[in-house]
Structure 1
């Protein structure tokens, strides 16, 4: 699903010319999530749906490790500064510590995300291994710094969990006022809804980050994007504002399952 989501987010349709450009050419345009899944399987086999999986697994493992490591460090420093008699951190403090940990984790793990994105958006003929793709990025116009493309967008995106948690608490008071303990299905429903709202709010940045980390579309004549704002302007120029929300279907589906299960487990 992550591969399909990335393919959908990187393609660019030109509203003026009615053409679609991707780094693999017009033939790679997908009209929907199902169309992307069926065509990738037809052209590359079922293994095509798992392109970049090694990088994704490394990315998930390293991101989780880095996040919890830096969260532990941040929380320990906060506890020491607050003193032994201080009350437990408030929700706002916990969210702030989580955001700080997320930002620090991004500094160390974003190179894996860049390489994985390159693998997932490359055609089958051009797709290389993890190390070879990293080398290709380094040999590009940005040099080693190319491995940190999309860092600013990633740092902004650390607000996604805060939006999710805030939306969850707000929806909880709306749908289940005064209820302190939710049933598993209730927690799953609210977790899924809150993640969907957070995804809708941050989807333009997610799309812009993918645009920064993948090869520039043919219309750019090989010129990389300079910032996520430039990616957004390009997408709006060629596809309109709706282009900033492409690939949102699989993005939300992924979030629904992960966040729903997380909140359901939390409420037990």
Structure 2
């Protein structure tokens, strides 16, 4: 009598692996839709507002997009696309994996202290923020090298001149660079300039910025819970509409961006090495070298705090928030798209997991 194989039960809920896959796919989709905005906001952040020949009107998202299109065409809007998508996938996968794993483990520990049959305990806002920050810190360590390379590709090498979007320097740079902005070549340049540790430029502000997704998801979950409770009391369905989900996602991301923006700008400038040598020399940030060596002096990275102090002296408090509107537009649209599509990508992740388990059982 032939043996009957046991029916394969589909997973009822996402494992940390599934949650990470769904989050990463959703993040790649949302970022790909608004990618030209990402390139524009990165160049704005990497450019000093008092750079030679630059006006603040030249640093709006629309003007930067038009400049890129004028000199680089549509491919310029997608400079560094592959590296950015790799960074987005790896970053979001790592974050969602660590966040889901840590949050699930923490809730299980809390539930173990409750009587059997009790509902799962609700986490406080402080707990949500802490868990998100821990998950963000762990993911930063593993993924920031790709972020550094992607940032360099997006801004190009003209950021080392007076302005990242100065027309003459851009054209001159494009002719000199040729096709030398590939992932591997940019990585080699970074290692040649700063050593292997250069791939981890911006790790300190990156760690500080782990509170950004923590604030985003903490506020999102809190507002979502309050709205769902209000719907239940009103006898309505216990599910948010796509429009309401979009608004809640936009609100949470805007709040997180406003709170953390100075460090967002500092991280981009550090990774792009945008502080010019003259400003660093004026403030004693150049490493001493022997004149007999004939080697050019290298600019010592001042770190996020030193960079913010320098920006404050040269540009005022408004310098800390240069490009924030571009950051908010891009981040809000991307995050809102992620929240709206998150449920659909979770269904796809469940389907992929079921297909994988079926193939594994047959083999």
In the superposition, the TM-score normalised over structure 2's length comes to 0.62
2:311 aligned residue (225, 228, 235): 235
Structure-to-structure mapping, 1:197-208, within 5 angstroms: 197-208=255-266
Equivalence for 2:359: none
Conserved 8 A contact 1:6-1:117: yes
2:273 aligned with 1:215:
yes
Distance 1:11 1:175, change over 3 A: same
1:163 aligned residue (203, 206, 215): 215
Query: How far off is 1:143 after superposition?
Result: 1.3
Question: What is the distance in 1 between the residues matched to 2:210 and 2:90?
Answer: 16
Query: How far off is 1:56 after superposition?
Result: 0.2
Secondary structure of 1:178's aligned partner: helix
Query: How far off is 1:203 after superposition?
Result: 0.9
Secondary structure of 1:225's aligned partner: coil
2:90 aligned with 1:67:
no
Distance 1:256 1:51, change over 3 A: same
Equivalence for 1:257: 333
Equivalence for 2:155: 121
Structure-to-structure mapping, 1:48-127, within 5 angstroms: 48-75=76-103, 77-78=105-106, 84=112, 88=120, 90-92=122-124, 93-122=127-156, 123=158, 124=174, 125-126=176-177
Distance 1:89 1:238, change over 3 A: farther
2:72 aligned residue (14, 20, 44): 44
Query: How far off is 1:230 after superposition?
Result: 1.0
Query: How far off is 1:144 after superposition?
Result: 0.9
Question: What is the distance in 1 between the residues matched to 2:249 and 2:269?
Answer: 28
The more displaced of 258-267 and 50-59 is 258-267
Question: Whose radius of gyration is greater, 1 or 2?
Answer: 2
Question: What is the distance in 1 between the residues matched to 2:101 and 2:248?
Answer: 30
Instruction: State the aligned residue count.
Output: 258
Question: What is the distance in 2 between the residues matched to 1:88 and 1:172?
Answer: 17
Equivalence for 1:138: 191
Q: CA RMSD for the aligned pairs?
A: 3.1
Conserved 8 A contact 1:12-1:238: no
In structure 1, runs of 5+ residues without a counterpart are 15-19
Secondary structure of 1:39's aligned partner: helix
Question: What is the distance in 2 between the residues matched to 1:237 and 1:99?
Answer: 31
The more displaced of 161-170 and 150-159 is 161-170
Question: What is the distance in 2 between the residues matched to 1:233 and 1:163?
Answer: 25
Deviations 1:1-28 (A, max 9, x none): 11111100011133xxxxx15xxx969x
Question: What is the distance in 2 between the residues matched to 1:230 and 1:214?
Answer: 16
Query: How far off is 1:110 after superposition?
Result: 0.3
Conserved 8 A contact 2:44-2:323: yes
Secondary structure of 1:30's aligned partner: helix
In the superposition, the TM-score normalised over structure 1's length comes to 0.82
Deviations 1:27-84 (A, max 9, x none): 9x93311110001110111111111112101101111222233335434654675575
Conserved 8 A contact 1:184-1:267: no
